[in-house]
């Protein structure tokens, strides 16, 4: 894998919310862009879900789509695995398999 692509993968995984969305897609593909908590880890009493939704639509989904890890239909809200999904999938499986060993807040 070229260094630049490795940087893209790490950039995609740098944000906890993007990690959560991508890990959720291992199990359920497609997802919907109106589901701001696909792994049910957000404490909705403490988090502004409208702000999270705004970041999802304007920041996280466009970034993941640009990197080729997801395909996002803005009209229907469908999110599915993108053409470069298999580049990130091995790390996602590793994260999923060891999620209970990871520090709190990592997913």
Task: Note the pLDDT tens digit of each residue in 13-48.
Answer: 998 889 888 998 888 776 666 666 665 655 555 567
Which CATH number does 3-101 carry? 1.10.10.10
Q: Quick one: tokens of 53?
A: 């939704």
pLDDT in tens, 76-97: 888 899 999 999 999 999 988 9
Q: What is the pTM of this model?
A: 0.82
Domain boundaries of the chain, sorted by first residue: 3-101
Sign of the CA dihedral with 43 first, then 47, 51, and 55 last: negative
């Amino acid at each position: 894998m070229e260094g630049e692509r490795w940087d893209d993968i790490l950039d995609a995984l740098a944000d906890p919310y993007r990690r959560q969305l991508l890990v959720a897609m291992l199990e359920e593909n497609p997802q919907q862009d109106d589901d701001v908590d696909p792994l049910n880890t957000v404490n909705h009493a403490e988090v502004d879900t409208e702000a999270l939704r705004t970041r999802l639509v304007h920041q996280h989904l466009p970034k993941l789509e640009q990197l080729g890890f997801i395909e996002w239909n803005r009209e229907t809200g469908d999110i599915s695995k993108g053409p470069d999904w298999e580049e990130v999938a091995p790390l996602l499986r590793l994260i999923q398999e060891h999620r209970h060993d990871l520090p709190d807040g990592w997913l």
